[in-house]
Amino acid sequence: MKLLVRNLARSITEEEIKILFSEYGTVQSCDLVLDKVTAKSKGFAFVEMPKIKEANTAIKTLNGKKLSNQTIRVKKAEN
């Protein structure tokens, strides 16, 4: 399941996101979206978790959680 993670602090790294989500299961991939000009985070990322149950647990647990003084939003990404 592909997840959309929004409202991330601009300072957060892809590795930090991967570590956070791996607490809830297997992370197949993590893509922090960067601005093409500045190469800085745009404040959102996509996380792919192959097991639906683990992905749903991550959504329920992490949606609304404070991370680097930002309340993140996590939901299933729309195709």
Q: Which of 67, 73, 74 is nearest to 12 (CA)?
A: 67
Would you give per-residue pLDDT tens digits along the chain (79 residues)? 999 999 999 999 999 999 999 999 999 999 999 999 998 999 999 999 999 999 999 999 999 999 999 999 999 999 6
What ranges do the domains of the chain cover? 2-76
pTM above 0.75, yes or no: yes
CATH superfamily of 2-76: RRM (RNA recognition motif) domain (3.30.70.330)
